[in-house]
Amino acid sequence: HLQISTLPFVMGKGGESSSSTASLRSGAAGGGASVKGSSGVAVVSSEVLIDGVWYDTSSFKHPGGRVLSYYAGRDATQAYHEFHQRSAKAAKFLKTLPSREAQPSESESSKDGLVRDFDELRMQLEKEGFFKPNYAHTVYRLAELAVMCVAGVALWMQGYKAASVVMIGIMQGRCGWLMHEGGHYSLTGNIKVDRALQIFLYGTGCGMSASWWRNQHNKHHATPQKVGYDVDLNTLPLVAFCKDVLKSSHPTALKAWLKLQPWLFIPVTNQLVGFGWQFYLHPRHIIRTKNVAEMAAFAARFAIIGALTYALGAGNTAALYLATNTVSFNYIFLNFAVSHTHLPTLQKHENTDWVRYAAVHTMNVHSSWWCNWWMAYLNFQIEHHLFPSMPQYRHPIVSPRVRAMFEKHGVKYDSRGYLEAMYDCFSNLKSVGDLAFTG
């Protein structure tokens, strides 16, 4: 997803806050505030509830950063299992924390029929093998990238430069799609192997940092569309997807920029974001963390660029790099933007459960053979947010069962056509931009 949390290169997702989801919200903001469990019993703000046990995390430094605090004083059962589906270390860490038994009524699964049905559906899907990786599919996806790369070079050598730019640009974008699955450990199911694949695909294929992406992306999955928590809402100064990030004190120049954001998004904004990632934010992260594997992936990318410079000349290589990345950035960012940016937001003091985060704050784009390929199955954002560690090509199969579960509990299953979703995305850009200018 489009995470940037450091200026000046920032971009993400947003949406309009909506009172229509108020009935789905409960509790207090996580992290630091005094809270009560659902039974009315006082709960220490550093505790999280997992499988009927309160764990004190006050002295625990989570490898994923402060994302654990997002569920402070709350039931984190579903989030814990979805994030740590394949991690044996997580269970070992959990056993070392101070803990106490919770009252049965404090569990979201015990008090909410939708969450309970979700837990049952997940167990059924796991028994049926839906979370098992498919090595043949992973090999196919990697081979597809290799074929597209070779085809792009061949087109260039035959003089079809425009076609070559499009082919290589989309190939780089699809490296981003596939590294996303690697970051969720759904390619091979082996965390070390999937991380290595992600580092290669994102570092060499896209010129970006896998570890930075994982840290930011997990925060998004924990609380999508929650102001102050979902890093994808940290979008200024380049773009504003929701009114919640606007301030009357914005400089006049910024207000004028935001007024133009629906027209700047494709030709300007996406490029500023992408190149900002490649040449500032991500290299800075790699250097700060001294991540040798990611340095090697970057080195491989620049070795390829060096070879192109030798063969084509500096001017032609620079033009090719600019053109292919412009295609790549727009391919990735546009397709991600349609699934979140125009949807309701949650305020800092509002919470909801894992299932309703997916139901209300994400949406699907209608399934079709071309859209499933074009968006690499991330047109099934509802299923992806419910089951982030499930291989994404299985989402179309699971989708009818998720829809039936939602309908049983009167929850909307939000699926829209591709053009409709794109229209909603740009209409939101315009309305928020107009509000920024006049407000």
Rounded Cα distance, 284 and 338, in Å: 29
List pLDDT tens digits, range 289-325: 999 999 999 999 999 999 989 888 999 999 999 999 9
Residue 370 burial by CB count (10 A; 0-12/13-18/19+): exposed, middle or buried? exposed
Q: What is the mean pLDDT of residues 372-376?
A: 98
Rounded Cα distance, 291 and 153, in Å: 31
Residue 25 has what pLDDT? 37
- Lowest-pLDDT range of 33-47, 105-119, 207-221: 33-47
Residue 326 has pLDDT above 90, yes or no: yes
Q: What is the mean pLDDT of residues 385-401?
A: 98
Q: What is the mean pLDDT of residues 68-88?
A: 87
pTM metric for this prediction: 0.88
Residue 29 has pLDDT above 50, yes or no: no
Model confidence at 125, pLDDT cuts 50, 70, 90, reads very high
List pLDDT tens digits, range 171-204: 999 999 999 999 999 999 999 999 999 999 999 9
- Lowest-pLDDT range of 39-48, 337-346, 367-376, 413-422: 39-48
Please report which helix (H) or strand (E) contains residue 364, including its range. Answer: strand 364-365
Q: How many residues does the chain have?
A: 439
List pLDDT tens digits, range 327-359: 999 999 999 899 889 999 999 889 999 999 999
Residue 265 carries which DSSP code?
A: I
Residue 30 has pLDDT above 70, yes or no: no
Model confidence at 270, pLDDT cuts 50, 70, 90, reads very high
